[in-house]
Amino acid sequence: MSQHSITRFSANSDYDYEIRTTLGFSVEGAAEPGEILAAVSGVGKWDHEAWYAAWYRLAERTLATAQKAATAGHAVSASAAYLRASAYYAVAVNAQSALADSGQLASTFAKQQQAWSGFVAHTPAEVTEVAIPYEQSTLPGWFFRADDSSAKRATVVGVNGSDGSRSSMWVACVAPALRRGYNVLIFDGPGQQSELFERNVPFRPDWEHVISPVYDFIVGLDGVDAERVALYGISQGSYWVARALAFEHRFAAAITDPGIVDVSTSWMHQLPKGLLKTLDDGQGAKFDKEMAFGMKFSPDTARTWKFRARPYGTTGYAETIEAVRKYTVADLASSITTPLLILSPEREQFWPGQPEQLAELTSAVSTLVEFTAAEGADGHCQPLARTLTAQRMFDWLDDRLAD
């Protein structure tokens, strides 16, 4: 183990990363380290039912605290507890989504929504729930104002990842942006949160068709300076941001956390080359048969696959891989003209080397900033260094969006 490695919180790497991520939420009040570590204590390495139950019980207890505080008129306490409950339910949703029996998925997500709504109702932040026109429907969003004045301000549009919650976006960009005087818009796009679990709308790779309507909407709101609108993407949201920027050039600046060029590499690096050749040779049925056989001997991989594949709206293994392979900007990134900050954490476990690759493809407009294990800022999206992340992101953004 490196001298800069933080001791693992779980022998299961997925659990460990989830714990780190949620612990990191504490910097913006969306988690309490003690109650998290107490809740997951004793959960076995492969005990997925216990993992789900631990987070669900913690979320339930925290929601009850929020409701009691709200009833008693303690708005500050209620807001804080609702936010934490929303974050904890979000982990439970992801855990439930991967179980063999995901019958409680809809009800668990409904609880997550209830907690988020409680936070929105009690937070002292200036926030308005909005409906963003999108194709023949709308996307749900939340517009946070820096204050209650009508002054035109720089604004950040936040794009979530593949499985991130709204409470995670509060931590990643909303709270640190508000403190610095920015407005912020976050929303659920295709395949994300309510679009997936309530409307069954899957991901789409061509997010320029999502981001351009969002831009049109945000610049029409009071208090938004149309010349100072920035775009931020976290985790897989970084792909969607890069993809959109290749076509949509009206944003003043953008940030990818981290940089992603090809989403599919995080799926395919674990597949045998011979199996991928079967797929490339057009033998989808054979690929599906061999994958199904292999999954019988790797139930943990099967759970991860089920969880990750759900938002793509696909059925077979071959269909899923073919869909994920469309999520690349390798041949589009050179069209990006927007000033771009690319975050690059040491030990990026899902898309290693891709921040540097994206920086090379966008060298005329991009800046690469590294995060290291020595800073406690290693790993995908720097889970235990969100304060440092916000400082570097917004200092860069301040310099480009200065009034």
pLDDT of res. 2: 53
Q: Is it true that domain 13-120 has CATH number 1.10.260?
A: no
Q: What is the pLDDT of residues 188-226, one digit of tens each?
A: 999 999 999 999 999 999 999 999 999 999 999 999 999
Nearest to 305 by CA among 337, 278, 271: 271
pLDDT interval class at 19 (50, 70, 90):
very high
Mean pLDDT of 138-154: 95
pLDDT of res. 70: 98
Nearest to 347 by CA among 10, 11, 13, 9: 13
Percent of the chain with pLDDT over 70: 99
> What count of other Cβ atoms lies within 10 Å of the Cβ of residue 363?
11
Q: What is the pLDDT of residues 223-276, one digit of tens each?
A: 999 999 999 999 999 999 999 999 999 999 999 999 999 999 998 887 888 898
pLDDT interval class at 103 (50, 70, 90):
confident
Q: What is the pLDDT of residues 302-320, one digit of tens each?
A: 888 999 999 999 989 999 9
Asked if residue 391 lies in contact with residue 28, where contact means CB atoms within 8 angstroms, the answer is no
pLDDT of res. 1: 43
pLDDT of res. 402: 85
CA angle 107, 108, 113 (to 5 degrees): 95
Which single residue is written with the structure tokens 């109650």? Answer: 35
pLDDT of res. 98: 86
Coil, strand or helix: which one is 147?
A: coil
Mean pLDDT of 109-137: 97
Coil, strand or helix: which one is 239?
A: helix
Asked if residue 166 lies in contact with residue 30, where contact means CB atoms within 8 angstroms, the answer is no
Mean pLDDT of 328-345: 98
The answer, yes or no, to whether the previous bond of 140 is cis (omega within 30 of 0) is no
Q: State the CATH class of domain 125-263+327-400.
A: alpha beta
**Is the per-residue pLDDT at 288 higher than 80?**
yes
Mean pLDDT of 76-94: 97
pLDDT of res. 403: 67
Asked if residue 186 lies in contact with residue 174, where contact means CB atoms within 8 angstroms, the answer is yes
Asked if residue 160 lies in contact with residue 188, where contact means CB atoms within 8 angstroms, the answer is yes
Q: Where in the chain is the domain with CATH 3.40.50.1820?
A: 125-263+327-400
Q: Which residues contact 220 (CB under 8 A, 6 or more apart)?
A: none
Asked if residue 376 lies in contact with residue 291, where contact means CB atoms within 8 angstroms, the answer is no
Asked if residue 233 lies in contact with residue 192, where contact means CB atoms within 8 angstroms, the answer is no
Mean pLDDT of 4-33: 96
**Is the per-residue pLDDT at 78 higher than 80?**
yes
pLDDT of res. 149: 86
Asked if residue 58 lies in contact with residue 51, where contact means CB atoms within 8 angstroms, the answer is no
Q: Which residues contact 312 (CB under 8 A, 6 or more apart)?
A: 191, 202, 203, 320, 323, 324
- Widest CA span in the chain: 65
Q: Where in the chain is the domain with CATH 1.20.1440?
A: 13-120
**Is the per-residue pLDDT at 389 higher than 90?**
yes
Nearest to 172 by CA among 340, 6, 374, 394: 394
Mean pLDDT of 18-41: 98
Cα atoms in the Cβ-side hemisphere of radius 13 Å centred on 331: 3
Q: Residue 34: exposed, middle, or buried by beta-carbon count in 10 A (0-12, 13-18, 19+)? A: exposed
pLDDT of res. 5: 84
What span, in angstroms and rounded, lies between the C-alpha atoms of 381 and 256?
A: 10
pLDDT of res. 100: 82
Q: Which DSSP string do the residues of 291-347 spell out, in sequence order?
A: HHHHHHT-HHHHHHHHHHHGGGT--SHHHHHHHHTT-B-TTTGGG--S-EEEEEETT
pLDDT of res. 271: 86
Q: Residue 249: exposed, middle, or buried by beta-carbon count in 10 A (0-12, 13-18, 19+)? A: exposed
pLDDT of res. 284: 94
Q: Residue 156: exposed, middle, or buried by beta-carbon count in 10 A (0-12, 13-18, 19+)? A: buried
